[in-house]
Amino acid sequence: MKRAALYLRVSTVDQHPETQGLELRRFAQERGYEIVQEYVDHGVSGTKVRRPALDQLLGDAHRRRFDAVLVWSCDRLARSTKHFLQVLDELNESGIQFLSQRETIDTEGPLGRAIVVIISAIAELERSLIVERVRAGMRRAKLEGRRIGRTPLDVDRKQVVCDRLTGLSLTKVAKKHGVSRATVCRLVNESNAAKLVT
């Protein structure tokens, strides 16, 4: 039985990697793999080349602790074609097979490796087009005089700081001014920082 490692990644802390994990475990069982290790990067962007779990996976791949790496989707492994191909090269040099469940990709043969390159390049192009569309929309909104980003905080900052420093609780100050407790803390910290500068 071939030994498999699962790699799971979610970008934000409110997402849960177990969604990928459940499907990958079933996928591994269907393919006849024994799962020997699960590597999870939780709350880590795919644009980051260095990731704790991915780094550990690549180190263990060099030590031949498993025969294959299974991912739910190629974009879980890397967001750029360059990084994706670097990871695949490292796995390939160690004789490790790569399988993606969603794209039904298996790098065991040359056709599988070619398909991986094509899909990765298309995904990167799609992301670039989305970024360009967003930037174009922001430029248009700016030309039309629309505000981009958050609306400015409409609150008497000095009074918020004064109320907090006179001993009112965070909750009472926040309710009085109609802002969050975090905003009260931020305004007090900004006020303290300004005093240190002057």
Catalytic residue among 11, 73, 94, 191: 11
191 catalytic, yes or no?
Answer: no
Q: Using alpha carbons only, what angle is made at residue 180 by residues 176 and 181, rounded to the nearest 5 degrees?
A: 90
CB 116 within 8 A of CB 98: yes
Instruction: Quote helix, strand, coil % in the chain, to nearest 5.
Output: 55, 15, 30
Cα atoms in the Cβ-side hemisphere of radius 13 Å centred on 113: 12
The pairs formed by 85-92 with CB atoms below 8 angstroms and a separation of 24 or more are 85/117, 85/120, 87/54, 87/58, 88/113, 88/116, 90/58, 90/61, 90/62, 91/58, 91/61
Residues marked as catalytic: 11
